[in-house]
Structure 1
Amino acid sequence: MIWPISIPAARLEDGEVSLREYSPADAQGLFEAIHDERVWEHIPREIPRDAGELDAGIRAKLGDLQRLTFTVRSGERVIGTTSIMYDRSAPDGVEIGATQFDPAVWGTGVNGRVKEVLLRELFAHGVQWVQLRTDERNARSAAAIRKLGATDLGVRQDTLIRRDGTTRRSHFFRLDRPVTE
């Protein structure tokens, strides 16, 4: 795999659901979509106060070029975000995470569709495995990851700090590249 990967926008669609590389122009729509306490319950950082603060937080994480962040839309409406993270010390794989959606689309299958689009493209680009993780307390997210067919790697201490100051314990999962004949 050659990082960073480049995926044409036309490849990141599944019907009405599409992913586009994040742009600061997306910040206001994204803020409106995910500005709900429930969305941030298991996220280990402060809830942004406005679209500018949300944008600054996203762009700060993009600075090291080890992350691709996408804005997720249903039609033209922004409904969430997700990211691909690359770690130079584990060059055969990536992590999909930092996924947040408008609660209005929870339980509708959007998350699974977004993950399937990303998995298809990542494996096509030579990625050998994809890691996913969620806070040990986030049963809804863990259930969605299991639906993808991910192998459960268990819960372990993480380096992330929760908003309440405790060190997060994360539930880790992995999907290996499908074997093709």
Structure 2
Amino acid sequence: MRWPLDLPAELAVGSVALHPYTDDDAGALFDALDDPQVWEHIPRAVPSRAADLDAEIRSKLADGNRVTFVVWRGDAVVGRTSVLHDPADPDGAEIGGTQLARAEWGTGLNRAVKQLLLDLVFAQGASWVQLRTDERNGRSAAAIRKIPAVQELGLRPDERTRRDDSRRLSLMFRIANPAGP
């Protein structure tokens, strides 16, 4: 798979658009995600201001193995998502870190966002795409199954610790490139 990704200025379908994250997005993104339910299954601390959210995103971008996108619906920022590259397993990528404004849950936005990213990653030679969610996040798991993605057997211990100090266990899903390897 080609990495870094060859990114267009915008990925879009209908009223949904993805733009690579810039620090100019922090305020609108913070406002869009300002709901405790949006952060319920996120293992890291909930940012208390836009600058904290920006610092968290920038720290994850620092190693060059992640691209974070801001999700837009029309002229409003409504979330974020990322593509992650593992140099130790370069044949595929992971789509993750997706958080959408509470008002967007159940609207089909997540599926549209994931399809845009799947098309991008597969067009750049990925053999597979992986997705994961916390074992406790049934809503997210159901959304991933609708893409459709195949759940791998068992739970995978995650390196992350939940905010309640328990070790996160992740449900793992995979989608093979429909064009083949």
Under a length normalisation based on structure 2, what TM-score does the superposition of the two structures give?
A: 0.97
Q: Which amino acid aligns with 1:107?
A: G
The residue aligned with 1:165 is 165
Could you say what secondary structure the match of 1:83 adopts? strand
Count the aligned residue pairs: 179
2:144 and 2:74 map into 1 onto residues whose CA distance is: 24
- Are residues 1:7 and 2:7 paired? yes
- Are residues 1:72 and 2:65 paired? no
1:43 and 1:160 map into 2 onto residues whose CA distance is: 10
2:125 and 2:159 map into 1 onto residues whose CA distance is: 28
The Cα RMSD (Å) is 0.9
- Are residues 1:128 and 2:127 paired? yes
The residue aligned with 1:37 is 36
Q: What are the superposed Cα offsets for residues 4-29 of structure 1, whole Å, 9 maximum, x if unpaired?
A: 0122124x101110000000000000
Could you say what secondary structure the match of 1:119 adopts? helix
The residue aligned with 2:101 is 102
1:69 and 1:107 map into 2 onto residues whose CA distance is: 22
2:66 and 2:161 map into 1 onto residues whose CA distance is: 20
1:31 and 1:131 map into 2 onto residues whose CA distance is: 26
**5+ residue gaps, structure 1:** none
2:120 and 2:84 map into 1 onto residues whose CA distance is: 14
| CA shift for structure 1 position 77 | 0.5
- Are residues 1:90 and 2:89 paired? yes
2:41 and 2:19 map into 1 onto residues whose CA distance is: 24
Runs of 4+ in 1 over 2 A off after TM superposition: none
Q: What are the superposed Cα offsets for residues 83-140 of structure 1, whole Å, 9 maximum, x if unpaired?
A: 0000000000000000000000000000000000110111111011000000000000
Could you say what secondary structure the match of 2:140 adopts? helix
Residue identity (%): 52
